Chain A
């Protein structure tokens, strides 16, 4: 009998072109390369300088998301809303895709959106694939049992030219989440609690596998929220074994296998699970039934507490610096903080179920005076689906802004920013200093907590808004 192996080890082994040695990393084959306008221009320049083509345009998925305005775009002039640099970057991407023969899911395609939203939506993200993108939240695709991780621009060039990467095999970390999530507690709260437990460097050098009955009970969109933030715990990748939920999600999507290919694929996918007795390098456990809605209080996603817990205390200078920046006090709960901006969107929480969750809380209520709330769908498809359900009308009736698809205020590259000193409750993934604008103070939370906070005008427990 062969040695029991983990899900990660199975996917890794299936893609090794050249085995690693003590001296040389493995040559790892990449099944899907997703590219966007911000982290690719310099890679295309390298290809051009060396006279190299894109080796596999058919395995390359291109879109526009980071530098795009969330106001309507029909002409180049409309792109300038995001600034001249951003507009030029979009135009450069269109030219690069044209020159290198890549099908760009850009303006007019109806399929444009955040890289980590459109991959799954199209069915291009599949179990057992290796998936990379010049974006650290590529870990999102691991929700399907793919090995997916973020890469730099030099590596984007490597994949464009060779469809491979030089990689050292990472270690494995099992994150077990057992128990039943209490009402009003979401996948976002689970992953924030996990990062709070392992710390922002707890997963460095590791691939996480999320396991346990609280994980298998989640929908695909919830699983994507979990895997998305693996990088915030330092892990380049996070994975969840595929099951019926995964297979049901993928059936009938435009790029899912069809006919007999579908049956073969499903048979292969069902074998993608960690064997009993397989060894992980590290493991941690969390009891889902003890969780509450979570909010961050500091300047990294590991600085996180339950919504009714007091902000902790420490003499550590980095900790003090974070509290000073956030203008919060030890001993007080975050619910005492006044809110200026609320952002619902991003590759973490910009899918249909996230918009639905925010709309459920907003329905029949009004965003508090003085609060600006932006709801930004993760893709043009999410936007269309939400509008077909009338969610845009609920959102606008509550006084929130319903925008065009893109990364928006998660990264603030497109002009969607919070002002200095403003407190932003955001469903995105990073509360770093200045992430949402110079001097902006970000509190990470679930869509329900964000919407509840918009109504209350201060950070609010979503369980009071059922």
Chain B
């Protein structure tokens, strides 16, 4: 995995609460055997009309949203299914980070393993970001702080191990594989066998 240290971008805001993984990438797009090419269908039913044309009033279709790498979303983003296609689609579209007050457990775990920064900020910061779409912010994973316009900085929270893996570009399978001797010994010595 490519190391992630600093993300500098404008924000795009989806204020709706409880945006589920079916909305991020609908089930009909999961009949793929690769991770690539899902970005064109991210938020598909919010983004496109029935005839395939873009819905002009949807935030991602506004000219200002082009090139924004940081998605600020309503509380409990990514709830629902375990489909890793959700972070794959967001990354493929061009997002590098998702910011909310709460991010569902499985989505967050999947996102961080793919280099999509899923980070939690306090309610006040979240409220400010929701009200000020399109601002330039810098997310510094080294210091776990977000730099907002006007020299303001606020802390964000992220699991320490995930942060370490992201900063160093560590593949978690490689990390886990270093414990294979302990796994073998666990299998041999446990009191019952599955």
- Do B172 and A39 touch (CB < 8 A)? no
Given A42-B35, A157-B173, A265-B192: A201 and B104 within 8 A (CB)? yes
> Which of A67, A161, A236 meets B106, CB within 8 Å?
A236
Give A104-147 as 1s and 0s: 1 = Cβ < 8 Å from B's Cβ atoms.
00000000000000000000001001000011101000000000
- Residue from the set A86, A166, A321, A438 with the largest chain B CB neighbour count within 10 Å: A166
Interface residues of B in 66-122 (CB under 8 A from A): 74-76, 79-84, 102, 104-106, 109-110, 113-114
- Do B17 and A264 touch (CB < 8 A)? no
Interface residues of A in 355-391 (CB under 8 A from B): none
Q: Does A179 contact B (CB under 8 A)?
A: no
Return chain B residues, CB-CB under 8 Å to A161.
173, 176-177
- Do B33 and A152 touch (CB < 8 A)? no
State in angstroms the CA–CA spacing of A38 and B32 once bound together.
Answer: 8
Q: Does A274 contact B (CB under 8 A)?
A: no
- Residue from the set A27, A66, A135 with the largest chain B CB neighbour count within 10 Å: A27
Q: Does B30 contact A (CB under 8 A)?
A: yes
Stretch at the interface among B2-10, B20-28, B136-144, B148-156: B20-28
Return chain B residues, CB-CB under 8 Å to A164.
176, 179, 183
CB distance from A352 to the nearest CB of B (A): 26
Q: Does A85 contact B (CB under 8 A)?
A: yes
Q: Does B63 contact A (CB under 8 A)?
A: no
Interface residues on B, range: 35 or more
Given A152-B106, A300-B20: A201 and B79 within 8 A (CB)? yes
State in angstroms the CA–CA spacing of A397 and B51 once bound together.
Answer: 39
- Do B31 and A83 touch (CB < 8 A)? yes
Return chain B residues, CB-CB under 8 Å to A24.
161
> Which of A50, A92, A168, A231 meets B33, CB within 8 Å?
A92
- Do A433 and B22 touch (CB < 8 A)? yes
Given A32-B194, A268-B192: A27 and B105 within 8 A (CB)? no
State in angstroms the CA–CA spacing of A293 and B100 once bound together.
Answer: 34
Stretch at the interface among A15-23, A186-194, A219-227, A452-460: A15-23
Q: Does A434 contact B (CB under 8 A)?
A: yes
Q: Does B18 contact A (CB under 8 A)?
A: yes
The count of A-to-B residue pairs whose CB atoms sit within 8 angstroms is 179
Chain B residue at minimum C-beta to C-beta distance from A46: B173
Interface residues of B in 12-49 (CB under 8 A from A): 15-18, 20, 22-23, 26-28, 30-35, 45
Interface residues of A in 415-452 (CB under 8 A from B): 420, 430, 432-435, 438-439
Interface residues on A, range: 35 or more
> Which of B27, B34, B110, B172 meets A166, CB within 8 Å?
B172
- Do B33 and A88 touch (CB < 8 A)? yes
- Do B79 and A25 touch (CB < 8 A)? no
Return chain A residues, CB-CB under 8 Å to B84.
39, 42, 134, 152-154
Return chain B residues, CB-CB under 8 Å to A32.
194
Chain B residue at minimum C-beta to C-beta distance from A17: B186
> Which of A17, A150, A264 meets B183, CB within 8 Å?
A17
11 further contact pairs, Cβ within 8 A, besides A300-B18, A316-B17:
A42-B33, A89-B33, A152-B84, A157-B173, A163-B187, A164-B176, A166-B176, A234-B79, A236-B105, A265-B192, A434-B22
Which residues of B are in contact with A by a Cβ distance under 8 Å? Answer: 15-18, 20, 22-23, 26-28, 30-35, 45, 50, 74-76, 79-84, 102, 104-106, 109-110, 113-114, 159-161, 164, 172-173, 175-177, 179-180, 182-183, 186-187, 190, 192, 194
**Could you show 19 A-B contacts with beta carbons less than 8 Å apart?**
A39-B84, A46-B173, A89-B32, A134-B82, A136-B81, A150-B106, A152-B113, A154-B113, A155-B110, A162-B180, A163-B187, A166-B161, A201-B79, A234-B104, A236-B106, A317-B16, A420-B50, A430-B80, A432-B22
**A-B pairs with lowest CB-CB distance, top 10:** A85-B31, A31-B194, A41-B33, A152-B110, A152-B84, A150-B82, A201-B76, A153-B84, A318-B17, A136-B82
